[in-house]
Every structure is written in C-alpha cells, then in structure tokens.
Chain A
Amino acid sequence: MPDTTVPAVEMRGIVKRFPGVLANDHVDLTVRTGEIHALLGENGAGKTTLMNILYGIYHPDEGEIFVKGRRVHIRSPRDAIRQGIGMVHQQFQLVPSHTVVENVVLGLPGNFFFPERAARQRLQEFAQRYGLHVDPDARIWQLSAGEQQRVEIIKALYRGADILILDEPTSMLTPREIEELMSTVRRMADEGHTVIFITHKLDEVFAVSDRVTVLRQGRVVATLETAHTDKRELARLMVGRDVLFRLEKRPVAIGPTVLEVQDLHIRSDRGVLAVRGVSFSLAAGEILGIAGVAGNGQRELVEALAGLRSVEKGRVLLSGEDITNRSPRALVQRGVCYVPGERLVGTVPNLSVAENLILKIYDQAPVCRGIFLDSQAIASHADTLIERYAVATPSRETPLKLLSGGNIQRAILARETSSKPSLLIAAHPTSGLDVGATEYIRQVLMSQREEGTAVLLVSEDLEEILQLSDRIAVMYNGEIMGILPVDRADLETIGMMMAGVHRDL
C-alpha cells in the first residue's frame, strides 16, 4: 500500500500563458494519494492545460510540481511516465490497424521479438482486477470507443502508472460504457491508485469523485469534499453565477403539420439499412425529441432529412410537398435548417466568423449582388448575429477555429435560426458544451418553438430530451419504438424503449 499521508501530486503557483490567453493563473492543486479527484470547469477553464503540464506536454511558465513529495521537472510524457503518471486523452492515441496487445507494448523496450507474450498475462490480470475486459487480439478499429478507452487505460497501467489522468473520459461513451468506466475507476482507487478525472458534467463529479477542484478562467475557485457540496453550488462556482436547471416551457398553440415522414428506409455508410420503416409527423410550434443510444439510426435519419444522405424507400413531406431526395440546396431554400451533430460539418474553421455566418445565404441578397459579395452587408449581418446571440469573439474577422466550442455552437445556431426556419433539425446540440453554453442553446431552441418553428431534436441526453420536448420518440436498431407525449414519459419507460421494447400510447 502506498503512503497515503504524502499527496500524490502537488502543483503550486502554476502559470501558463498562450498567445493572448492566460490559460493557468497561479493554480494550486493538491491530489491526495488514492483519491478520485474531479477537475471541474467549463470549456476553456484551463483543466486540460493544467493536466497537460503535469503530463509533460506543456511546460509551465511559472510554478512547481511535486510528485509523491518530491520536487520534479517533467519535460516530456516520458518523464511523467517515469514518475508513475499516466494520461488518457480525449483523442485516443492508438494505431487502428494493430491489435490491442501490439498497441499496449508499442514503444516499450525489452523483448524485441515476441513482446506480446508477457503482456497477455498482465492484460488478463487487469481485466480481473479492474474490469478492463478487452480481447487482446482484436484490432483497434474493430473496437467501440469504450473499448478503445480501456486499451488506453491498460496502456497507462502497463507502464506502471499509479496516478491516472482521465481527460473528459465519458464524452465518447454510451451510458452503459460510462457505468463500466465509473466502476473501473472506483476499483482502481480501491487498489490505491490515484485518479484525476477531468469533466464539465456535474453528475459525474457526484457519481465518482472524493474531492473536486473547480477551475474558472484559469484560476482555482474552490476545492471541496464532494460529499459536502451540491450540484447548485458547484454549478455556481463553475459558471460564476446561478444556473437555471429548469426551463420554463410556455404553452404554444400547435400549428399545421410541417414535416411528415412515411416509412423511411435509409442505408448507412457501410450499406446496411440503418433506418427501417420510420414514420412520424411534426407540427409547427412543437419539439419532437428523438432519444436513443447513438448508432441506432439517428444520424442517418437526420442526414437524410437534411438532404445529405439518400433515402432508399419512403417519403418525406415538407408542408405537403414531397422533398424526398432533394438536394441540400433545395431544402435550405425551403427553410430547413440543420445544426449538425459534429460541429466540423457545419463550419469552416479557417474562415472568419463573419464568413461562417453567411455559409447558407452567401448567394442571396443582400449579401450577394449579382455575382459579387457585399462586404458591408456581410459585416452588418455578422455584427447583428454576434450581438443578438452573444457570441464571444474578439472580432467578426477572427477565424472561427479560435472560438470556444460553446461560442462556435452559438454561431451555428445564430446562422441556422436567424432566418426564421420552418423546420429546425438539431442533432446533439449541447454535446460537449459546458453548463452555461448548454443553458443558452436550450433557451434558443425553446424560443424557436415559441416562434412557431417545428423542431426535431436528436439527443442522447435524456434530461435534455425530457426538458425540451413536447413529444418523445425513441429509436432502437433503426426503428421507432414508440412516440410518447412528454407528460406520459418517464425515465423507466424511455429506458425500456431504448433497450428495444415497443411501447405505444
């Protein structure tokens, strides 16, 4: 058992500057040996930067680091590993065409010819002790995100890490995989490992951590025992003001049917039927939430409705007009707006904020006259939207990629909703966003509903679905398991439908 009186990690007065940003401002962090320490903060609060410093990827401009009581200089991940620190990044660093064992031993000295033999045994041991089950001979590309993450954790443990940093480890996982991860983390802590868990989700802090440190704008706001705090306090510390957990849903007169989907069949990229016989209708002033574990056909459905994927069979009617398999352009012209699940699809990172805001109206007056773009019209369009949607950007000429995730999503939403759409399709609109941005995005969706837009909301976040939707459809294996009005939907029923049980009311 390691000495638990000496802190596993102590960081003192850490300062890290990037051009124009103070990412870490005299940060002090103490992580006790054997504890699960949550590092909580909004996107851009400096959590990942701080941990990248501990892992030797960045170098602090000021400050000292102590590991297990000894002052250390960590100049590279190799140094960090030598100190027993391992880190699992959000983007996995695995070789997709190699097997699990090969990835685990990659880069290690020692048995040049058959390095896997010894590794296999250790893998078995990790599987039993921590629940890290994964087929050693599977190739990485065959594994789900959750399994790949397990390989990353195994890699760190195999290199002797007893301090493990997990950077937003749940962002890619399904609810079930999150459960498994949490249990693994707890078992590792029980065995004396120290875990630093980076997150911006309050639920996760309470689900897994012993203590929590809250960062805001590069500074430590508080370090608390998790048992002695609550969601409201943490949210306030993290955002710097009170956060609404309940949105007011005003009654809205339901208008005429805007979208009607009849017996839709759609193939996935692999050529498999991903959507099989889906039918529903959606009226003006209504939010229809589509719940379900990702990968059950939601993506294909949404892409087909936006004109980005062809429909194999069935019909899509927009206000009575058959729009099946029409081009994206034709749909844009008919007022179909789409907030894609992956932000990169809907933006051009290297172009300016202003240019991104005209992505769908660049060929229409007043932005476009004849073949020429009117730079004044573009500028005033940008200024209006930046102000109305409170997009935090240094200027309208700033490349979009320099904005935070929340502000990029605000810009996308500004572009998609400012044109008074008839149908708004929003896929995972708040995924990866912090509490403040999430709250704002949800408010925008609600106000769209009040203005009479038909909103189709696809989300994996059940809380979000329940909070916003008027009706809830659950997708499983390419089919809709049933559509419930929100007042008759409860978590248990939806959970059963997500697992494949039909339920119709």
Chain B
Amino acid sequence: MNALPRIRLEKRLATPRWLGVATPILSVLAALLAIAVIFRLLGVNPLVAYGRIFTGAFGSLYGLSETVTKAIPLMLAGVGLAVAFRARVYNIGAEGQLLIGATCATGVALFVPGIPDGLRLPAMFVAGALGGALWAMIPALLKARLRIDEVLTSLMTVYIASELVNHLVYGPWKGPGEWGFPYTDKFPLAAQIPRIGITRIHYPTLILALLAAVLAYILLQRTRWGFEIRVTGENPEAARYAGMNYLRTAMLVMALSGALAGIAGVGEVAGIHYRLRYPQGISPGYGFTAIIVAWLARLNPLGVILTSLLIGGLLVGGDAIQLALGLPSATVYLFNGMILFFVLGGDLFTRYRIRIEIPSRAAATPVRLEREEAL
C-alpha cells in the first residue's frame, strides 16, 4: 500500500481577499528562507546577515534615507510598469527609458541656453518624461504596426539606450573638466534637484513619485481609460467586442510607463550625480528591478509605494553586507532573482489550493489532512 502523502492542487473558485495580501508577504519570506540556505553554504550565519541587512536599510537615519533615495526611481518606474502590465502590455524596457530620460534631462541642463533658472528643472523633467515616452514608442509602434512582440523589442531598446549613453559620455558630451572620466560636466546649480538636508533624498522627485502612484491608481480604478486598460488586460477579445481601441490603449500605457521611467532617470542625474555618466553609474538596473516592484505589489500602483521601499531597503542592506561580511557583489542580484521567482510562483496559490492527503496504513478510511496554504 502506498503510504506516501499525496499532494494535490485544486482550483479555487474565488481568491479570498486576505490571500491577495498574504501571498506576496509569504513569498518574500520564502525567498529569504531560500537565500538563508545560500548564506549558510557561503559560511555566513543567515541570522547575522539578515540582521545586518535590516539595520543597514532601516536601522539608522542614514540607512533609512538611502532606502528612500533608492526607492524613488523604483517607485516611478514601478508605477508605470504596474499600469502597463495591467493592460497585458509587457514593457521590459524601463531601464532604457530611464537612461533616455536621463540623457534628455542632461541635454536640457547643459546644452540648451536661455532657460530662466526657475524653469530649468521643470524643463528637464518635461524633457525626460517626453524622451522616455518617445523611446517607449519604438516597441509600441513595432507592436501596433507590425505585430512584433513588445517583450523582445522593449528589451533590445535597453541596450541601444545604454550604448547611446556610452557614446555620449565617452564622446561628444565628455566633460573637459572631468579628468578623462566618462562623465559630462557637472550640472549648474539651477539644474540640480534640491535634497533634504545632508541626505541624498531629492524630495521633488519623491513627491512626483508619490503623486504618480496615487494618480495611476485613480486612472485605473476611476476613469474610462483605466477601464479600457483593465478590460484589455483581462480579455482582449471583450475589449474589441466592446469597441475599445486596443492600439490606443497599448500606446497609452507604453507612453505612460516610458514617461515615468524617464522621470526616474531625470531624478538620478539631476538629484544624485549632477551629471550624465556611464549607464551602470546612473542606474544599477532600477528599470529591471522595478519589474519585481510592480509584481510584488500585485500591479496595484498604491502597493508600489510599499514594495519600492522594501526593495530599496534590500538594495541598501545588500550593499551593507557586501562590505561588512565580504560577500560577492552579486548577492543583491541573488535577492532580486529569488524574490521575483518566489513572487511569481506564489501567484499559483492565489488560484489553486493545496490538499495534502496522508493515506493511513492501519485504517481502511484514509486520514485526510486538508489545509489551505499560502505557501
């Protein structure tokens, strides 16, 4: 007789509300548990490592301020991606749109004369948003006109954007005063975003990010465009049947997510570095990490505020343990990868329930354990 427990998946009729909240939290915990195993294998006590990460990210004013600083670009790009993904338009190119936004802002900061000081920063934000949106139009148009899958094309535009930035900072835009580094000249004061005290929190961008999250939520839930986005994402055929314009919706969400990623790029060059630098110097993959931020928030723009702070904290804490425990720099990527893996996997449990059955040897009637589990 077979005495092994059987594990079965049963489809849920409905997803309980609490599960929608519990799943991402438990997914992150499961990811942390898996990473703990790896820490152990590397000879590091996982509890010590997590302690360091937590105190590094949230345990000091400096750590907290850095966490918020890193959350700003994640929040901006993550909100845009959440909206695009809701329409089932998979913009994977936020990183490139961020770089183009940074480039456009730099152009306005350094090479457009005659803008009054008070309008310099607003002009940079507008240029960055427009640049990001237009860059996102490349995959959007390819999809609309030639039906080319946007996942591949938007990803490819990241590399093009990256090479464009490289070309500029090693070539025509290379600053004469930068000792041969691949940097542009420093931005004039009027082109620098103000920060809070001695921290690196460039608060105008933070306000923009929070505003974007709230407005995106209202857009999705309370406007007719949001209704079109949700219907298109849930059932494209029904959207067509209802007379909705798929191409217009796809272009809209692409442009929106591109613009928000572009604004994130403006914040990085004008709020952190005060110059355009080589691509990895501007963004350590914020545009890609924002994908995790958006999924972790279950594509809810308001949730992105929380998840961007959480992932921002992990980035800061990850840096902290690299230095303190001598772990390789890939540790942070390991975190990102593991979390995305578990979050996407955890989604299964919102749609299915697990039943575990343990056949008993003694009795003819099987003892049945029935459990609803989030993980």
Contact = CB atoms under 8 A, between A and B. Distances in A.
A308 B366 CA distance: 54
A334 to B, nearest CB: 11
A344 B235 contact: yes
B234 A350 contact: yes
Interface stretch (A217-225, A238-246, A358-366): A358-366
B243 A329 contact: yes
Given A75-B6, A328-B243, A368-B224, A347 B14 contact: no
Interface string B216-230: 000000111111101
Contact of A338 (B228, B234, B241): B241
B149 to A, nearest CB: 20
A362 B227 contact: yes
A373 B240 contact: no
Interface residues of B, number: 30
Contact of B245 (A329, A345, A347, A371): A329
Interface in B342-375: 355, 357, 359, 364-366, 368
Interface string B79-108: 000000000000000000000000000000
A372 B215 CA distance: 12
Interface in A334-369: 338, 340, 344-351, 355, 358-360, 362-363, 368
A360 B243 contact: yes
A348 B231 contact: yes
Contact of B368 (A59, A344, A350): A59
B227 A308 contact: no
A333 B241 CA distance: 13
B224 A328 contact: no
B245 A372 contact: no
A346 B13 contact: no
B222 A372 contact: yes
A93 interface: no
Contacts of A338: 241
Nearest to B2: A75
Contacts of B4: none
B224 A362 contact: yes
A481 B254 CA distance: 49
A109 interface: no
Contacts of A350: 234
Interface string B222-265: 11111110110011011011111100000000000000000000
B242 A360 contact: yes
Contacts of A359: 231, 238, 241-242
B224 A348 contact: no
Given A19-B13, A362-B224, A332 B234 contact: no
Residue with the highest number of chain B CB atoms closer than 10 Å, among A73, A327, A348: A348
A399 interface: yes
Contacts of A489: none
A371 B227 contact: no
Interface string A356-395: 0011101100001001110100000000000000000000
A349 B235 contact: yes
Contacts of B234: 348-351
A332 B242 contact: yes
A347 B238 CA distance: 6
A308 B14 contact: no
A332 B14 contact: no
* Size bin of chain A's contact surface: 35 or more
A340 B238 CA distance: 10
Contact of B230 (A19, A306, A329, A351): A351
B241 A308 contact: yes
Interface string A280-318: 000000000000000000000000001110000000000
Contacts of B225: 371
B365 A73 contact: yes
A112 interface: no
Contacts of A347: 235, 238
A113 interface: no
B354 to A, nearest CB: 14
A18 interface: yes
Interface in B17-39: none
A330 B242 CA distance: 11
A373 B13 contact: no
A351 B238 CA distance: 12
A253 interface: no
Given A328-B242, A338-B241, A348 B222 contact: no
A236 B366 CA distance: 40
Interface in A1-28: 18-21
A501 interface: no
Which 9 A-B residue pairings sit nearest by Cβ, starting from the closest? A329-B243, A328-B243, A359-B242, A348-B234, A332-B243, A348-B235, A371-B223, A363-B224, A362-B227
Interface of A: 18-21, 59, 73, 75-76, 306-308, 327-333, 338, 340, 344-351, 355, 358-360, 362-363, 368, 371-373, 375, 399, 402
24 contacts: A18-B13, A19-B13, A59-B355, A73-B366, A75-B359, A76-B6, A328-B240, A329-B243, A329-B245, A330-B243, A332-B243, A333-B243, A346-B241, A347-B235, A348-B234, A348-B238, A355-B227, A359-B238, A362-B224, A362-B227, A362-B242, A371-B225, A372-B223, A402-B14
Given A328-B241, A345-B241, A360-B243, 20 more contacts: A19-B13, A59-B355, A328-B243, A329-B245, A330-B243, A331-B243, A345-B237, A347-B235, A348-B230, A348-B234, A350-B234, A351-B230, A351-B234, A360-B242, A362-B227, A372-B223, A373-B222, A373-B224, A373-B226, A402-B14
